[in-house]
Amino acid sequence: MPITSTQVDMLLASGSSIFTSVAVVVLVVLCRKHFWDFLKHVVDVLDDRTLAKDPERARRVAELRRARNGNK
């Protein structure tokens, strides 16, 4: 998602300085991928703990996860 001039204008209108606005934009761009990777990891851990109680469901989810990641 590209940063538009409207988003920058909104940051400036909220009372922040141009430095703060640039810092926020840079942090968002740098951390976007890491955040989603971390969120996927948390969901996978929670799934693993939940699926430990149901082996059949765990098998199906493992197949779907391997397909999502491109593994066989």
Q: pLDDT tens digits, residue range 48-66?
A: 777 778 888 888 878 888 8
- Tell me: pLDDT of 29 over 80: no
Instruction: Map residue 2 onto helix, strand or coil.
Output: coil
Total domains in the chain come to: 1
Amino acid at 24: V
Measured in whole angstroms, how far is the alpha carbon of residue 46 from the centre of its chain? 16
Could you tell me the pTM of the whole model?
A: 0.40
Triad 35, 41, 47: Cα angle to 5°? 140
Triad 49, 52, 57: Cα angle to 5°? 110
Please give the residue range of the domain that contains residue 35. Answer: 5-69
